[in-house]
Amino acid sequence: ALIIALLMASVLIVTPGSETVSAASSSAIIQIKADGSVEGTDKIVQKGSVYTLTADIQGSVESNEAFIFIMKDNIIFDGAGYTILGSGKGTAIYTLRSQNVKIQNCHITNFETGINFWMVANWPSNSSYLGLPSASRNEIVNNSIEVVGKAFSNSSLEAGWCVYLSDAVNTTLLNNRFNTQDYKGGLFFAPS
């Protein structure tokens, strides 16, 4: 019985075309760094200024933490219709004070926040946003975002929102589909 239990405990089921990034590993987050390099996954390919997802990915982060960080300006992040799946907490895509970044064609599900332009606790320590101007000229286009939690009832201000815009100006949102547990949780605007 012990041998059978050990064998059953060692079985891992993996879905083809998806990648799980666990919070316990050193690659718990994905970064598109300011120098253009991608860290934390091989499921994002770069061609010029376009970064394209090549498979479904899954991440597990805590509340007020982010899974994907976009730290490079003047790029397109194209989800290519793939799913970014969370474990019920945190933010799927995070960008703070970005300039001219377009996030398109993503299916984001099971995070507390879909796309966040405000603060998170796990901002990479090797990155600096201090002294940068407000986020500007960003676009959020053709995304499907489903979030968990209710706006205004969580410990994190950003929880329960599909898109949380704070300290962001001249942002374009076009052809997005939002699904929330709270009718107030689609889009949050705050003055910069």
CA 186 to mean position of chain CA atoms: 16
Predicted pLDDT at 140: 95
Question: In sequence order, what are the residues at sequence separation of 6 or more whose Cβ sits closer than 8 angstroms to the Cβ of residue 130?
Answer: none
Q: What SS3 state is found at 9?
A: helix
pLDDT, tens only, 140-186: 999 999 999 777 665 566 788 899 888 788 999 999 999 988 777 78
Give the residues across from 177 on adjacent strands. 144
CA 68/CA 119 separation, integer angstroms = 13
Predicted pLDDT at 190: 74
CA 33/CA 126 separation, integer angstroms = 10
CA 148/CA 170 separation, integer angstroms = 27
pLDDT, tens only, 68-100: 999 999 999 999 999 999 999 999 999 978 999
Predicted pLDDT at 135: 82
Q: Mark out the alpha helices in 35-128 (DSSP H runs).
A: none
Give the residues across from 53 on adjacent strands. 44
Q: Band of the pLDDT at 46, cuts 50, 70, 90?
A: very high
Predicted pLDDT at 130: 61
Is pLDDT of 126 > 90? no
CA 176 to mean position of chain CA atoms: 15
pLDDT, tens only, 50-62: 999 999 999 999 9
